[in-house]
Amino acid sequence: MKIVAQRVEYAKVEVNNEIVGKIDNGLMLLVSFTQTDTEKEIDWMVNKILGLRIFDDENGVMNKNVLDTNGSILSISQFTLYGDALKGNRPSYIKALNGEEAIKLYNLFNEKLKEHIKVETGIFGAEMRVSLLNDGPVTIILEK
């Protein structure tokens, strides 16, 4: 499981020129799965994301997590995170989990997040346009 987490002032995702997910203040997550991922990796990642102290406290020190700031999450599925471009110029996506299995894990991941925080999503497998204002900028890559 691989996630790119960005601290944002706002983020939105559009499909066919229609906004399908939108947040203010929080985390925008690009989420990808590989063949060995299970619920165990999802549980670890949910805890890591919710506890990630990348928001400023009153002294300007990154000491708060998304829950401390009453933030939200915009979760976007993105299989291309497992693209391997070491050989040649066309990435190989052989490490990315197939869509049929990945959607199950993606839905489970979002449901587990929703137990703790407001979560908006894109549409799995759709052609999406993502807009955001990265705050900081703060971008963290997580892999389990």
Of these residues, 33, 55, 79, 109, which one is catalytic?
79
- Helix or strand run (H / E) with residue 122: none
pLDDT the model gives residue 37? 97
pLDDT at 11: 98
Write the DSSP symbol of residue 59.
T
Question: What pLDDT sits at residue 142?
Answer: 98
Amino acid 33: pLDDT:
98
> For residue 99, what are the contacts with CB-CB under 8 A and spacing of at least 6?
79, 124, 125
CATH number at 71 reads: 3.50.80.10
Residue 58, domain extent: 2-143
Report the DSSP pairing between strands 72-77 and 2-15.
unpaired
User: What would the mean pLDDT of 110-138 be, rounded to a whole number?
Assistant: 97
pLDDT tens figures, 68-112: 999 999 999 999 999 999 999 999 999 999 999 999 999 999 999
- Residue 33 known to be catalytic: no
79 in catalytic set: yes
- pTM given for the model: 0.95
Mapping DSSP to helix (H, G, I), strand (E, B) and coil, where does residue 8 land?
Answer: strand
Q: Does the annotation count 80 as an active-site position?
A: yes
Choosing from 80, 109, 124, 139, the catalytic residue is 80
User: Given phi > 0 = left and psi -120 to 50 = alpha, else beta, which region is 83?
Assistant: beta
Number of structural domains in the chain? 1
Q: pLDDT at position 22, please? A: 98
Q: Which of these is catalytic: 6, 34, 78, 121?
A: 78
